[in-house]
Amino acid sequence: MFEKFLDPYEIKARIAPGLILSVAVLVDVVITAPVLSNLPIFAATGIFSLALIYGLGNFARARGAGIQPKLWAAWGGEPSTRFLRLRDPHFGDGLKASIRNEITRRFGTRLLSPDEESRNAEGADREIVDSFRRVRSYLRQKDSDGLWQKQNIEYGFCRNLLGCRVSWVVLSLIAVAFALGSAVRSGQSLVNAGSIVASISLLCAVYVGWFMLPTATRRVAEAYAESAWMAFLYLSQGEPAANPEPIPAAQDFIHVDPAAL
């Protein structure tokens, strides 16, 4: 039903982390809400739940985007960029040469040579980043449901959840405290659905957030980058070149001193 309104990336990479963050709070709301059989209260609770999930999903997306540069720096660069550096060993020289040749044939872009890359590593990375943008656009047209996109969604989910792991812990602690406090006030057992779910959420936040997600996020990011490059190579080699106009190298542009104008 949701897929009629939201694309798979939105659902799995943003809404799903929001649901994970909010589940302990939602259980407390359902348990403590008075007479859910009352239609207005039921409707209000449902609207609040949807708003909370969507809001926390957007929060998770913002936090994930915020930590992404730090992740790439810790990994030695964005995987899609790193794999195509001539000095990187992930792809063999022959495979990298094939991908680079296909980039030139498909987009008219020439990536920097080994000597140029050694002298200007940042410039070489910028050329690879720009090429990967074109590759992603090409794949969206030719292979929008391919493995690369599935792994891109999985990476978005892991990255976003990793980015808000502290918030996940905080919300779980609040839910535990609320469930226990509500039980004390009402004279019920401290072991109830709210406290159990909130405690499980807290344990998952700590274990998943610090012991699983860091490794999983990098693994999925690298799998996505590899799948995207390989899908591009396979698809592009099976089609004739688009014969685009060659894109001039940076040194081919004439520099004009603004002071001379």
Q: What is the DSSP string of 69-88?
A: HHHHHHHTS-HHHHTTSTT-
Task: Give the residue-averaged pLDDT of 1-5.
Answer: 52
Inform me whether the pLDDT recorded for 38 exceeds 90.
no
Tell me, rounded to whole angstroms, the distance of Cα 232 from its chain centroid.
20
Task: Tell me which DSSP letter residue 252 carries.
Answer: G
Which of 12, 20, 24 is CA-nearest to residue 199? 24
**Sequence spans of domains, the chain:** 2-241
Q: Are 194 and 182 in contact (CB under 8 A)?
A: yes
Task: Give the residue-averaged pLDDT of 28-43.
Answer: 65
More confident residue, 11 or 245: 11
The rounded percent of the chain whose pLDDT value lies above 90 is 74
Tell me, rounded to whole angstroms, the distance of Cα 130 from its chain centroid.
19
| Residue 50 confidence (pLDDT) | 86
> Taking the CA of residue 194 as centre, how many other CA atoms within 13 Å lie in the half-sphere pointing to its CB?
25
Confidence of residue 42 (pLDDT cuts 50, 70, 90): low
Which of 207, 78, 211 is CA-nearest to residue 155? 78
> Taking the CA of residue 40 as centre, how many other CA atoms within 13 Å lie in the half-sphere pointing to its CB?
0
> Tens of pLDDT along 108-156?
999 999 999 999 999 999 999 999 999 999 999 999 999 999 999 999 9
Task: Give the residue-averaged pLDDT of 242-247.
Answer: 52
Instruction: Kindly give, in sequence order, each residue whose CB lies less than 8 Å from that of residue 200, ignoring residues fewer than 6 positions away.
Output: none
Instruction: Kindly give, in sequence order, each residue whose CB lies less than 8 Å from that of residue 40, ignoring residues fewer than 6 positions away.
Output: none
Q: Are 9 and 152 in contact (CB under 8 A)?
A: yes
Which of 131, 133, 110, 146 is CA-nearest to residue 235? 146
- For residues 231, 237, 238, 241, the Cα torsion angle rounded to the nearest 10 degrees is 120
| Residue 30 confidence (pLDDT) | 78
Place of tokens 């688009």: 242
The angle formed by the CA atoms of residues 16, 19 and 22, to the nearest 5 degrees, is 155
Inform me whether the pLDDT recorded for 248 exceeds 50.
no
- For residues 56, 62, 67, 72, the Cα torsion angle rounded to the nearest 10 degrees is 120
| Residue 69 confidence (pLDDT) | 97
Structure tokens at 41: 């209260």
Inform me whether the pLDDT recorded for 34 exceeds 70.
no
Inform me whether the pLDDT recorded for 243 exceeds 90.
no
Task: Give the residue-averaged pLDDT of 103-107.
Answer: 96
Structure tokens at 147: 């493995």
Place of tokens 């709210």: 194
Confidence of residue 5 (pLDDT cuts 50, 70, 90): low
Please provide the average confidence, as pLDDT, over all residues in the chain: 88
Dihedral pair phi/psi, residue 17, rounded to 5°: -60, -35
